[in-house]
Chain A
Amino acid sequence: MGGSQSVFSEQELSDYQELTYFTKKEILHVFKRFQTLDPDSVERDKNAKLNRETILKLPELQVNPFNDRITTVFSSAGDGCMTFEDFLDMMSVFSDNAPKNVKVEYAFRIYDFDEDDVISGKDLREVINRLTGEQALNDEEMEQLIQNILEEADLDDDDSLSFAEFEHVISKAPDFINSFRIRL
């Protein structure tokens, strides 16, 4: 711990503590995880910008079917590259302490593949395809599933989920809060 302690000044740490859902100790831990992704460049510059491939070395992201979306959403430049602050931001959102509305906000962005601010049938199809991985549902099943989801969540019958609808349905999906997190 002593090594990484000196990386940040006390002021920086307390700033981070104020702005994320982490304690100082946890922030240092996050930094350690960030460091393991690319020890050399982080050693040189703690605010090094790591590209998408490097970030995806994080085991949780590596196997995550939405990993490209996650890196895009959390990258402040929007290109999938992440600095430590972006990384910290991401871990903070995925932490246990982050409130549900923050998580829902980012989940919506992650699932909105074409970034048109609604989760359309196309987005849903993509989500489901990524969820099932190698074995894909056939067209008929897919259509049935999408219709089921829209029936449940699409309150205004416009065949897509707006943020409000998404938020509403997530509040009724008890598993979301349990699954949308990465333990430090």
Chain B
Amino acid sequence: MVLTNSQMEYILHLFLEEVNTHPNRRKGAATSKVNAFIALLPSKQPIDRQMSRRSTTAKKRAIARNNKIHPSKKDPEMEELEEQGIDVSNLEDEEDVHRVMNAIKQLPCPLAAKRRFRAKLLQKEIKQSSGCCGGSNTNRQNWRKFKIWKKEMSYKLEPWGSWLKNVEGHQGTGVVSYFVFLRWLFFLNLVIFILMLLFVTIPYVAFSNNGYTYVVTGSGVSGMSVASEQTCSPLYQVNVSSDAKTLIQDFLQGSGWMEKTAMFYGFYDSQDLNSFVAGHYSLPLAYLLTSLVILLFSLITMARYTMQSFRENLEDQNEKHQYCNRVFGGWDFALSEEGTAVLKHRSLYKDLAGELAEQRHHEARKNMSSNDKCRLYTIRFFINFMVICILGGSGYLIYWVTDWVTSFLADPNYKTNNDAIVVLLVEFLPSLTITALNGIVPLIFGIVVKAENYTPEFTIKITLIRTVFLRLASLAVLIATIYRIVSCTDKETTCNVGQNACDSLRCWETYVGQNFFKLIVLDFLVKVGVTLGYELPRKILTTKCDAAICKKIGLAEFDIPKNVLDIVYTQTLCWLGFFYAPLIPALATISMFVLFYLKYLSAMYNTNPPEIPYKASKSNNFFMIVLMIAFFLCCLPVGYTMVKLTPSYGCGPFRIYSYMTVCVDATISNFPSWLQTIIGIFTSGSFIIILLVLLSLIIYYTSSKSGARAKMIVMLKEQMIMEGKDKQFLLNRIYELTGEKPGAKKKDNKRPPSNGPRNGPPPSAVKTVNEVHQNGNVSKDNDLTPVDDVPEVVPYNDPDDSTRKTAETAFKREVTPVDWDQVPGDENTNRTTSTVTATNVAFDF
């Protein structure tokens, strides 16, 4: 029941021809024929038939052919299915049945009808499968059963599913996307933690004290010195006090007794565990490889997560459909609470009205006088300058504080000279500074951006970008400061520990780990504090106090971008820290876990949904990109540590190596020589160059493929527009002919008439073909003639045979396969009938 435009045009042509050659025919008959014809147009089809538009013409032709070849009568169900555009002609194997089953599933009709179709189909299947061998069928069935089982399990195992539903009902999908992201990060951290625990901590803790033999592999490799390890290891001492206050203090800052736990790098040893079940377990190698695997795993999971949403939005880079998106995707069908629904209405109204006002002002802004423009750009310039200054200032502050604290702590007597609280404060000063800056500076950004007069959407974006920049920059400064301390050149020769002006860090990796440890702890405490100390009182204030000012304060808003950035920041700390403190992922996991409940609390009780409608689809990508950037920034220092920095001689799994990667060389040196040669080839420069060339070729290939597809999209869209125009043109011709007033149905069109006549269907034409078929005949009042009766209603007594035959073939069900591509599809209606032979007509109504 699908007509392409060229088909329609052709029919119309036949029709016009006919009308012109029969001037004496009743006008009414012509009109009724037009109406019947209009009913055939694609846009006038009932919706369930429009599904069939998706099926290809090739398939249709196959069906048509099939009908011709096997005219045997069919089940009504099967016919109905075919009418829906589902090909049920050749159901030879399980796969076909499955495909049809899926198609039935997608049919937009009530369940009862679907069940009827399915029952029929199953009957058929039994008939056919009896002759077939059952082996592959049962396999496939099992596979399908397994898939269903998997789905069922994942439904059962979906953690926090009902919690998410509650949040969704209360706050809408935007906030839920935050929770889904949080859950995803929780699992990512859990996996990282388990990997570290399984391959590093447990082997070491379980076997190190159990009579393992002291073995150093690959002793022939350069860059190993067991001697310095033996001198330096005893020098690395940690003062452990049993004072209760100090115990807690140590716990918070990862010093003292904490420093000697499995949490930190310094705890691990460089020896191979020989009593391990497999016989030989090289801890340094395991440490290095596990770290690499974790980074790789993070990258892959992130890429997968991003690609899922990215693929959907890739073609949607031009913001051309924002109004449709707002209106058709505006209501959140998951909302289930009265109050939230009211808020949603309000936020939708604000969004729409704001956007419209923006659009109106946009024109005004375009015509702004050069004076105003000049002023605006000056303001923007100054504000950007100011933002850079603030960022630079923050960076310097962090640098200065870290530097000062380190020099303060370098004094060996600082603990005795100062109060414990002061010491704790000083210890936490860098972390405090960073956290405070993260809290305060975005507020300043939020204020100054208003003066810049950007569009609302861009305002959010630029504030976010600045905030992200602040967060990453402050971490970068911290890393740089630590690096400066660690790579201080004035070192004693035996143990490679700083002297004189340089800080004497016996185990600098642990020192780095401690810094991140403190940041994570503080970050977590601040989050708990904000939820309980800021949102909760505000809630209590609003509900308990009746004064106008309290009401005005109201509930806090669930600020999604800020919250997402917060957890991205925690994740960054985890990635930065896990190499120096292997159990930091555990901390991050716990932090995410607690945060889920905390945020649930604040989402359900303490906050209102965000006022600006949050575009989950767009921002998800943005946050993942931020996470990716953060990830690559994290890889830099970790990778640099692995390859370029000399590990401490007195602690850690790499203490006997001059670089961490030497342990890999040491392991390889124990391999048989042929394996060494192969590894040598694969790691050689020439091989890597070949690999790079190959990769760039693949990238080139895929990018040109995507370019071609983009072109295809543009072409298809143009074609779609052209077909729409064709349709309109044809309709206009019909109206011209019948003298019916086009667009009689439209009341609210304000477009200039130059747009051409509307083709709002005349009321009579609304009757669908489906109904026509069902009724057999149509009530007289709307003057619509059933299609199959057309030749009878319009008697043909003209001798012009070719015209009549063609018309008859056109309107009857006699169908011959035809390639419509051969019918010229241009808008040239001067084509005469004789150019297309009568037998060429084919469509299946």
Contact = CB atoms under 8 A, between A and B. Distances in A.
Contact of B104 (A19, A122, A155): A19
A141 B358 CA distance: 12
Contacts of A62: 336, 338
Interface stretch (A2-10, A21-29, A38-46, A48-56): A21-29
A17 to B, nearest CB: 7
A81 interface: no
Given A25-B155, A172-B320, A131 B348 contact: yes
Given A76-B110, A133-B342, A162 B359 contact: no
Contacts, number: 249
Interface residues of A, number: 86
Given A132-B352, A158-B728, A174-B618, A179 B761 contact: no
B724 interface: yes
B327 interface: yes
A102 B50 CA distance: 12
A78 B44 CA distance: 20
Nearest to A105: B108
Interface in A51-107: 59-60, 62-66, 76, 85-86, 88-89, 94, 99, 101-102, 105-107
B345 A133 contact: yes
A133 B749 contact: no
Given A117-B45, A183-B164, A173 B328 contact: yes
A76 B353 contact: no
Contacts of B346: 133, 135
Contacts of B749: 121, 159
Interface stretch (B232-240, B751-759, B784-792): B751-759
Interface in B200-254: none
Contacts of B366: none
B40 to A, nearest CB: 13
B325 to A, nearest CB: 4
A70 B327 CA distance: 17
B53 A164 contact: yes
A40 to B, nearest CB: 23
Nearest to A184: B165
B656 interface: no
A116 B45 CA distance: 10
A60 B331 contact: no
A137 B43 contact: no
Contacts of A86: 110-111
A152 B728 contact: no
A37 interface: no
A127 to B, nearest CB: 6
A59 B727 CA distance: 43
Interface residues of B, number: 92
Nearest to B768: A117
Secondary structure at the A interface, as helix, strand, loop or mixed, is helix
Contacts of B95: none
Contact of A59 (B50, B328, B337): B337
Given A116-B766, A158-B728, A179-B332, A132 B323 contact: no
A11 B345 CA distance: 44
A111 B43 CA distance: 16
Contacts of B760: 120, 158-160
A149 B323 contact: yes
B331 A132 contact: no
A166 B471 CA distance: 42
Contacts of A76: 110-112
Contact of A128 (B42, B115, B327): B327
B334 A60 contact: yes
A137 B349 contact: yes
Contacts of A122: 747-748
Contact of A19 (B42, B51, B111, B723): B111
B279 interface: no
Of the candidates B51, B177, B323, the one having the most CB atoms from chain A within 10 angstroms of its own CB is B323
Contact of B108 (A60, A106, A165, A172): A106
A163 interface: yes
A137 B47 contact: no
Given A135-B349, A137-B352, A178 B616 contact: yes
Contacts of B327: 124, 127-128, 131, 145, 149
B324 interface: yes
Contacts of B177: 178
A59 to B, nearest CB: 4
B328 A169 contact: yes
A16 B148 CA distance: 13
A155 B43 CA distance: 13
Given A62-B336, A117-B45, A128-B352, A168 B720 contact: yes
B142 interface: no
B43 A118 contact: yes
Contact of A155 (B148, B155, B360, B720): B720
Given A18-B101, A135-B346, A145-B352, A153 B155 contact: no
Contacts of B362: none
B152 interface: yes
A162 B43 CA distance: 6
A35 to B, nearest CB: 17
B329 A178 contact: yes
B535 interface: no
Q: Which are the 4 A-B pairs with shortest beta-carbon distances? A: A156-B724, A133-B345, A175-B329, A174-B617
Given A117-B766, A182-B333, 16 more contacts: A63-B340, A65-B331, A116-B766, A117-B43, A135-B345, A149-B323, A156-B724, A159-B751, A159-B760, A163-B50, A172-B325, A175-B615, A175-B617, A177-B329, A181-B333, A183-B165
Interface of B: 42-47, 50-51, 53-54, 101, 104-106, 108, 110-112, 114-115, 118, 148, 151-152, 155-156, 164-165, 168-169, 173, 177, 312-313, 315-316, 320-325, 327-338, 340-342, 345-346, 348-349, 352-353, 356, 359-360, 615-618, 717, 720-721, 723-725, 727-728, 746-751, 755-756, 758-761, 766, 768
